[in-house]
């Protein structure tokens, strides 16, 4: 694509609001090797309201030749408990056994104070541990990515919803057992109440030194190492101050509007521990947009590393439908707009 004329990837509508009032929200996307098969999950609600969440639904897709063929909608009737609402699907593929686990919330009325944290297993799901909360900033729904190759070794990166005007990021050097104090990420704006967003990590293009000496379009350049907030102890101090490209890059999806959930955008960071490394957004959908979920796909299917995005969209409001699109890393690099002066 020529600079100045970003294109919009083709999209398919997988779930659409019905005349009866049935509404589909909170998408979750899981690629399952080796096809890959794509599993698209969502909440089925009796109305758009959270209190009317009802069941979880699924559509299966097969990726071939750069496009996806989707099967029919299935209601997951066993993912339910009487007098509870099934919400927030979170599918996980366990590679050794090929098992797909579907985690979700069974909700009854209660009062909660939202904080991002990790719930994890070190033994293939036989036992589970509750990791530490992101300690200092009010944060909500989050997604995680393992960032490799930093000066202090691998870290777990958390990107969370916030009502503080910007996204919150936090780092863990002990695989999620505890998090360092969270930091606001100024380039990643939130609407007043915040909105869920998605982040996925992937290996930087090889050889990474070809990219290290280039200035990525839309990324901010720092002659001096940027300040990344409060000083932290141990291995993360050096990592948080280093703006150099990382062996792990991150892709992030979120509505780009500051006042309303509008215009689904994707941003790239090639130095994830630098708060200011995020590019300007490439808008992949114009109009009302909401929750989203990203997935990285094997390169052989689209001539290189590719991504899929499942996101809420609409013409008048963001919960009219849930859409799906595919795009490559090359598409991202070609369509990121120049940074605003």
Asked about 312 being catalytic, the answer comes back as yes
Q: Which long-range contacts (CB under 8 A, 24 or more apart) does 63-68 make?
A: 63/31, 63/35, 63/36, 63/37, 63/38, 63/297, 63/301, 64/301, 66/301, 66/302, 66/303, 66/326, 67/326, 68/12, 68/38, 68/308, 68/324, 68/326
Main-chain dihedrals φ then ψ at residue 300, nearest 5 degrees: -70, -15
Asked about 2 being catalytic, the answer comes back as no
Of 280, 293, 312, 321, the catalytic one is 312
Cβ–Cβ under 8 Å, residues 230 and 261: no
Give the whole-angstrom CA distance, residue 328 versus residue 104: 30
Asked about 50 being catalytic, the answer comes back as yes
Asked about 49 being catalytic, the answer comes back as yes
In sequence order, the β-bridge partners of residue 145 are: 157
SS (H, E, C) 69-80: EECCCEECCCCC
Of 24, 157, 252, 291, the catalytic one is 291
Enumerate residues 6+ apart whose C-beta is below 8 A from 270.
Answer: 204, 211, 216, 219, 245, 246, 249, 277
Catalytic amino acids?
A: 49-50, 291, 312
């Amino acid at each position: 694509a020529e600079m100045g004329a970003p294109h919009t990837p083709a999209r398919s509508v997988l779930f659409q609001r019905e005349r009866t009032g049935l509404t589909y929200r909170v998408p979750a996307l899981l690629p399952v090797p080796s096809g890959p098969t794509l599993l698209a999950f969502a909440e089925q609600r009796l109305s758009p309201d959270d209190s009317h969440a009802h069941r979880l639904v699924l559509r299966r897709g097969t990726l071939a030749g750069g496009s996806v063929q989707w099967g029919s909608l299935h209601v997951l009737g066993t993912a339910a408990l009487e007098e509870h609402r099934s919400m927030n699907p979170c599918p996980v593929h366990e590679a050794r056994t090929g098992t797909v686990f579907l985690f979700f919330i069974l909700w009854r009325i209660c009062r909660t104070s939202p904080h991002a944290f990790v719930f994890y297993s070190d033994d293939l799901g036989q036992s589970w541990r509750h990791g530490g909360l992101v300690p200092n900033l009010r944060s909500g729904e989050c997604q995680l990515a393992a960032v490799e190759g930093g000066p202090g070794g691998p870290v777990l990166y958390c990107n969370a919803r916030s009502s503080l005007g910007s996204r919150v990021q936090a780092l863990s050097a002990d695989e999620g057992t505890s998090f360092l104090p969270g930091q606001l990420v100024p380039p990643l704006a939130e609407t007043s109440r915040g909105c869920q967003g998605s982040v996925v990590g992937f290996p930087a293009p090889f050889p990474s030194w070809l990219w290290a000496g280039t200035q990525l379009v839309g990324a901010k350049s720092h002659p001096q190492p940027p300040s990344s907030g409060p000083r932290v102890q141990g291995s993360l101090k050096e990592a948080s101050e280093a703006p150099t490209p990382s062996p792990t890059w991150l892709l992030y999806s979120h509505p780009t509007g500051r006042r309303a959930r509008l215009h689904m955008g994707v941003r790239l960071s090639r130095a994830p521990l630098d708060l200011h490394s995020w590019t300007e957004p490439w808008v992949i959908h114009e109009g009302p947009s909401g929750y989203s979920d990203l997935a990285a796909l094997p390169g052989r299917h689209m001539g290189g590393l590719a991504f899929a995005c499942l996101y809420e969209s609409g013409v008048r409001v963001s919960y009219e439908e849930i859409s799906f699109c595919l795009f490559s890393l090359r598409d991202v690099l070609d369509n990121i707009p120049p940074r605003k002066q």
